[in-house]
A and B are shown apart, each in its own frame.
Chain A
Amino acid sequence: MSQTIRLTLKIWRQKGPADPGRFETVAVDGVSTDMSFLEMLDVVNEKRILEGGEPIAFDHDCREGICGSCGAVVNGRPHGHLRGTTLCQLHMRHFRDGDTIVIEPFRARAFPVIKDLVVDRSALDRLIQAGGYVSVNTGSAPEANTLPVPPDRAERAMDAAACIGCGACVAACPNASAMLFTSAKVSHLALLPQGRPEAARRVLAMVRAMDACGFGNCSNHRECEMTCPKEISIVHIARLNREALKAGFLSPEA
């Protein structure tokens, strides 16, 4: 059954990339516990617009946890404290009456803040551009069932492919490393026969791109795994390391 609660929000406000930014405190009353976190922000924004204030900018789109657009650091955790949840899936029933909630943008050198909670995550696209695909032109594919894939392998590939590219792993990492994101793609394709011909080139290029984009290195804090809304395992980071090592020793492309 739904109830209403009263909250104090401390929200990061930043007019643009050059603005140093600051926290603003907002008291919110009558928050239904059936609301999602983003619907709560909608209600705050509607009120601000009518009062002549500037609404809080935040990225969002599908509001069902799959597009990867939304995300903010809520009380120190990207996407909030609930496991396996994007911010749009976090519902207010997980907060208590009288709570103070601190809301900040994802913070990482590779993710400059654009405005309020909106950050620039185009570095993740650059990582994929470095090789996060199978090079196959339209029209040249063989009959689909000529290449059997053991179902457990397909399932593991799918576990990695479930990444939504939200960047929470980067925001959670003390080094702002993109290892979980990168390894999810490397692992998805390395597990499948279709991805093997380019596996060495892919892993080396993507690791180089991580450095070029300004992401840090992995030092096994495992914060990424804890935070990932799709609960992607750091087993994939281990696989990336193996793939990179193998490519480094054995591939002519190293």
Chain B
Amino acid sequence: MRLDAKIPGGPLPQKWDRHRFELKLVNPANKRKFEILVVGTGLAGASASASLAELGYQVKTFCIHDSPRRAHSIAAQGGINAAKNYPNDGDSIWRLFYDTVKGGDFRAREANVYRLAQISNAIIDHCVAQGVPFAREYGGLLANRSFGGAQLSRTFYARGQTGQQLLLGAYGALMRQAAAGRVRLFPRREILDIVVVRGKARGVVARNLLNGEIECHEGHAVVLCTGGYGNAYYLSTNAKASNVTAAFRAYKRGALFANPCFTQIHPTCIPVHGTYQSKLTLMSESLRNDGRVWVPKTPGDKRPPHQIPEAERDYFLERKYPSFGNLVPRDVASRNVKEQCDQGKGVGETGLAVYLDFADAIRRDGRAVIERKYGNLFQMYEKITGDDPYETPMKIYPAVHYTMGGLWVDYNLMSTLEGLFVLGEANFSDHGANRLGASALMQGLADGYFIIPYTLGGYLAGTPLEPVSASDPAFAETARQAAERLRRLLAVNGRRTPDDLHRELGMVLWNFCGMSRNNEGLRKARGRVQELREEFWRNVRVPGSEQDLNQSLEKAGRVADFMEFAELMILDALERQESCGGHFNEAYQTEDNEARRDDERFCHVAAWEFRGEDRDPVRHVEPLSFEHVPLTQRSYK
């Protein structure tokens, strides 16, 4: 299979303009004849639904929660990047593009990333017009702060709740369209499968989570905005309902899955404290602007932090990376934290933590300034740990946070399954092997507000789409399979709960396909995942009925998909015999333990094709070429 990314011709800065001109248009009067199914209401889904409805399309929007406002974009803390250059510190579209390509360790498409940087400014304009209360300077103009992987300030923020405010802006726009009757909302629905009719995505099978009813919905195109798969690891910063099911079903129906081994482990999270723990909590990267990361110089030093004199502390990020210091990108920071803990210098009860210390910043700027910048984060930390970060340094450790991999899409954000578009974290497109801070919000909103409204129109105008109704046999068959699977889950009646099995799967992935990987471990993990999956279908216990609100059944369905998907992550990691970004294979590192890419063999996107339950998937390759950002060893020293 040849993967055609459909990158428009012409010079890089003109590609998107030219493409928008070349895309066919749908006549305004005809737009209402098209029905679009949008799955998910995070930044990508809510912004796409609202923007498509504003154009006149009939939109059906599905979300797993009781309200669209609860999607996990709501929890993003730190900020959103844009190339406004308001601080006059040398930013430009070109520099944002450059930093993002380099930050992604040269595994993203130049054309996509350039478009993202171009659109970034319009996103800020739009969100401000919606009334998003961004932080402001004394004169009333917008404030910026710096974030990891950049040496300038280009991040817009609303305290530590930027994702919340951006999502509420998009949610407001969505609700406005719902009130106008152009969006029909389907809350508390889980998408169990994609319906393919004559080779095109034409519908979804949804489960009404309140009464278990299996519903079929038909449309002219399906837009998946279902987020990432970080919960494969069980413990992550993702919300509990975040899952891979819809994306994985799409994969099984013919959409290729790209770079599943590219997962982001975020350096600053609250450490694990018990076996009953249900999730991990992120402490925003913005804290690294003022917080200093350190460990005791002597392994096993158990003194409380205030008793360790300055001379006996190692500020290892500042020491190793003098030009970026504490603001190195996430993959680099996480690996260094792990390295310190592996050397026995970790702190706290478990030894799996390092300090993030604000004492210097509080001395320099005063407590009030620090409180204004990070008050809500400090409060969150205090509630969970019982420690006051104004008085004692935070303890932090890396945790699974974001997944750069996702369904493969072309420049139009369409997957290899025709008519299936994938937006936001659910696609693979812009972050390469490592995402920079404050780029996820930018990408989700770029996809939803400013890309899909054009490219979807181009598809609809240029593709003959015969009428399809939910009475088509493809719907009945897909719905039957989904219902059958639910009944199978209930029928096992074994001795382990879905959470218990999920936790074990997560440990296997964390240990062998986490921050640091090696071939032997990955091979072992693949065997363990296969055994665990076999045990799952023999020994899971799901109480209740499929015709009721049944949260155990919901969980079991998601875990079943993670059990299969985990193997794809491992396979992808095994095949990528290099280190890049979040994928660190111990066999490929430089003398000072940095990731060593192999551009000869792996300067490409790996996209996996499903070939049936009993066969290995096939790995396809989309070569990447770097004409504008020269391929170099990434350095933050």
Contact = CB atoms under 8 A, between A and B. Distances in A.
Interface in B41-72: 47, 50-51, 54, 65-70, 72
Interface string B20-48: 00000000000000000000000000010
A154 B66 contact: no
A251 interface: no
Interface in A47-75: 48-50, 52-55, 57, 59-69
A252 interface: no
B287 to A, nearest CB: 15
B541 A158 contact: no
A50 to B, nearest CB: 7
A118 B140 contact: no
Contact of A161 (B72, B133, B138, B273): B133
B383 A61 contact: no
A53 B543 CA distance: 8
Contacts of A25: none
A122 B282 CA distance: 29
Given A42-B276, A61-B72, A130-B179, A136 B386 contact: no
B465 interface: no
B75 interface: yes
B60 to A, nearest CB: 16
15 contacts: A38-B278, A42-B278, A46-B500, A62-B74, A89-B380, A114-B549, A115-B549, A121-B67, A129-B178, A138-B54, A143-B125, A148-B140, A151-B138, A161-B158, A195-B131
Given A122-B187, A162-B164, 20 more contacts: A32-B276, A39-B278, A54-B543, A62-B239, A63-B240, A66-B161, A66-B164, A67-B75, A69-B70, A85-B383, A118-B549, A125-B175, A128-B171, A129-B179, A134-B130, A138-B50, A141-B129, A154-B134, A154-B140, A194-B128
A165 to B, nearest CB: 6
B318 interface: no
A189 B172 CA distance: 11
Nearest to A124: B67
Interface residues of B, number: 79
A188 B172 CA distance: 13
B450 interface: yes
A133 B172 contact: yes
Contacts of B172: 128, 132-134
A192 B139 contact: no
A210 to B, nearest CB: 15
A144 interface: yes
Contact of A147 (B128, B171, B239): B128
B500 A93 contact: no
Choose among A43, A61, A118 the residue with the greatest number of B CB atoms under 10 Å from its CB: A61
A220 interface: no
B572 to A, nearest CB: 28
Contacts of A219: none
A91 interface: yes
Interface string B271-292: 0011011110110000000000
B543 A52 contact: yes
Contacts of A137: 51, 54
B141 A148 contact: yes
B552 interface: yes
B383 A91 contact: yes
B179 A43 contact: no
A150 B140 contact: yes
B436 interface: no
A1 B139 CA distance: 47
Interface residues of A, number: 78
Interface string B492-513: 0001010110000000000000
Contacts of A147: 128
B175 A129 contact: yes
A250 to B, nearest CB: 22
Given A114-B210, A161-B168, A61 B159 contact: no
Nearest to A132: B172
Contacts of A135: 176
Contacts of B543: 48-49, 52-55
A192 B137 CA distance: 15
A5 to B, nearest CB: 14
A151 B549 CA distance: 46
Given A62-B72, A161-B165, A55 B551 contact: yes
Contacts of B142: 144-145
Contacts of B500: 46
B131 A134 contact: yes
Contact of B276 (A43, A53, A64, A130): A43
Choose among A2, A46, A53, A85 the residue with the greatest number of B CB atoms under 10 Å from its CB: A46
A93 B384 CA distance: 10
A78 to B, nearest CB: 16
A20 interface: no
B239 A61 contact: yes
B379 interface: yes
Contacts of A89: 380, 383-384
Contacts of B278: 36, 38-39, 42, 63
B131 A2 contact: no
Contact of A61 (B65, B86, B126, B158): B65
Nearest to A17: B210
Given A46-B497, A121-B67, A165-B67, A138 B449 contact: yes
B526 interface: no
- A-B pairs, top 9 by smallest CB distance, nearest first, are A148-B140, A133-B172, A141-B129, A129-B179, A141-B125, A158-B133, A144-B128, A61-B239, A138-B51
